[in-house]
Amino acid sequence: MQVVSYVVRNEGKGTMQNGSMALLFIVIAVLVGSCASPAPLPQEVTSSIKRFGVVSVSADTLTRQYVGLVVFTNEVDRKDISEWELDKTYAGQVGKTASAMLGAIYVPAPYSAPEFSKVNDVNGIPNWTKIEEAAKGYCGANRLDAILVLAKQKRTSPGIPMELASLGILSRITWANLYYSAQVGLLDCATGKLRASRIVDSGDDLRAPWIALPRQVGAQPIAQWDATTEADIKSKLTDLPSSAWDRTLRTLISAPKQ
pLDDT tens readout for residues 39-89? 888 888 898 999 999 999 999 999 999 887 777 778 899 999 999 999 999
Residue 181 — pLDDT band, cuts 50, 70, 90? very high
Instruction: Assign 159 a pLDDT band (cuts: 50, 70, 90).
Output: low
What is the rounded distance in angstroms from the CA atom of residue 187 to the CA atom of residue 191? 8
- The verdict on pTM exceeding 0.75 is yes
* Three-state SS at 216: helix
User: Residue 130: exposed, middle, or buried by beta-carbon count in 10 A (0-12, 13-18, 19+)?
Assistant: middle
Beta-sheet strands, E only, within 15-80: 23-30, 51-57, 61-66, 75-80
pLDDT of 61: 97
How confident is the model at residue 177, as a pLDDT? 92
Percent of the chain topping pLDDT 90: 63
More confident residue, 29 or 258: 258
The confidence score (pLDDT) of residue 2 equals 39
193 pLDDT higher than 50: yes
* Cβ pair 56, 87 in contact under 8 A: yes
Q: Residue 69: what pLDDT?
A: 77
Please report the pLDDT score of residue 40 as a whole number.
86
When pLDDT is averaged across residues 29-34 and rounded to a whole number, the result is 37
Find residue 55's DSSP bridge partners.
149
pLDDT, averaged across the chain: 83
Sign of CA dihedral 215, 220, 221, 223: negative
Determine the Cα–Cα distance for residues 42 and 148; give it in Å rounded to an integer. Answer: 16
Q: pLDDT category, 257, cuts 50, 70, 90?
A: low
Note the pLDDT tens digit of each residue in 207-242.
788 899 999 999 999 999 999 999 999 999 999 999
Q: How far is CA 44 from the centre of its chain?
A: 28
